[in-house]
């Protein structure tokens, strides 16, 4: 998928003017902090929501166009977020207390098995022991080539690397041709052992 082109044309269906509603409960209940990482952050809505709640946030996206837009939003809002262009399958190890993925894994899983494996191998190296990972994605139940299942998520975030893995059924919001729609999805939370 050419994400730069999609962002340049303002046609990204996941651009809903805020973070995915299913993250509201996570944001309200409190996030393991202080350091949060948003992988595949797009134009930064979730990263900005986290930063507004006082977390020290880094957002990474492979699309330079998305990162430019995210930086502009942060500057307009007067919110400090570190936005960087990067490939989430190739990041150096780091210690984040909370790692967020809003719609990245489901695309990798749909498009590229090797990249999916690389990403899943890397995630524990980015999460501090006791830290949490939160992954939101569209479920295979949505059809149209989506292929993420609860079994896949549970197998990907299993012991001994991850503990307390929970997968909730949620709705993923999108805007297509100006119409709001929702698709069945999952929100996973797991703790780095
Ligand atoms: C479905 S969009 C979700 C964007 C944002 N998280 C949101 O919820 O609005 C997926 C994002 O992942 C980014 N992406 C795709 N492959 C990536 C990779 N290997 N590393 C980092 N970002 C990637 C895309 O550029 C895109 O912004």
Contact (Cβ atoms closer than 8 angstroms) between residue 13 and residue 174:
yes
Residue 103 CB–ligand 1 contact under 6 Å:
yes
5-27: average pLDDT: 95
Pocket test for ligand 1, best of 7, 22, 50, 61 (most atoms within 8 A of CB): 61
- Cα 11 to Cα 149: distance, rounded to the nearest angstrom: 27
Looking at domain 3-192, does it have CATH number 3.40.50.970?
no
Which backbone phi and psi does 91 adopt, to 5 degrees?
Answer: -80, 150
- Structure confidence at residue 188 (pLDDT): 98
Residue with CA at minimum distance from ligand 1 atom 27? 42
Angle between helices 45-52 and 64-77 (to 10 degrees): 30
Q: What is the atom index within ligand 1 of the atom nearest the CA of 15?
A: 9
Q: Which of 137, 42, 24, 39 is nearest to 96 (CA)?
A: 39
Kindly report, residue by residue over 98-156, the tens digit of the pLDDT. 999 999 999 999 999 999 999 999 999 999 999 999 999 999 999 999 999 999 999 99
pLDDT more than 70, % of the chain: 100
Residue with CA at minimum distance from ligand 1 atom 17? 62
Residue 139 CB–ligand 1 contact under 6 Å:
no
pLDDT value at 1 more than 80? no
Residue with CA at minimum distance from ligand 1 atom 10? 104
pLDDT value at 190 more than 80? yes
**pLDDT tier at 175, thresholds 50, 70, 90:** very high
Residue 175 CB–ligand 1 contact under 6 Å:
no
18-26: average pLDDT: 97
Domain boundaries, the chain: 3-192
Q: pTM higher than 0.95 for the full model?
A: yes
């Amino acid at each position: 998928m050419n994400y730069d082109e999609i962002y340049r044309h303002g046609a990204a269906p996941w651009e809903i003017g805020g973070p995915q509603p299913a993250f509201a409960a996570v944001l309200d209940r409190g996030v393991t902090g202080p350091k949060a990482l948003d992988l595949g952050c797009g134009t930064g809505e979730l990263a900005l929501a986290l930063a507004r709640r006082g977390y020290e946030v880094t957002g990474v996206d492979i699309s330079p166009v998305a990162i430019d837009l995210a930086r502009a939003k942060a500057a307009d809002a007067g919110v400090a977020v570190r936005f960087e262009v990067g490939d989430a399958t190739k990041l150096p190890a780091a210690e984040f207390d909370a790692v967020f993925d809003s719609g990245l894994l489901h695309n990798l899983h749909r498009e590229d098995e090797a990249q999916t494996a690389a990403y899943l191998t890397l995630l524990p190296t980015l999460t501090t022991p006791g830290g949490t990972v939160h992954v939101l994605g569209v479920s295979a139940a949505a059809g149209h080539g989506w292929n993420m299942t609860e079994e896949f998520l549970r197998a990907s975030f299993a012991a001994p690397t991850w503990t307390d893995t929970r997968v909730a059924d949620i709705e993923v919001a999108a805007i297509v041709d100006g119409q709001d729609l929702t698709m069945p999805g999952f929100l996973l939370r797991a703790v780095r052992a």
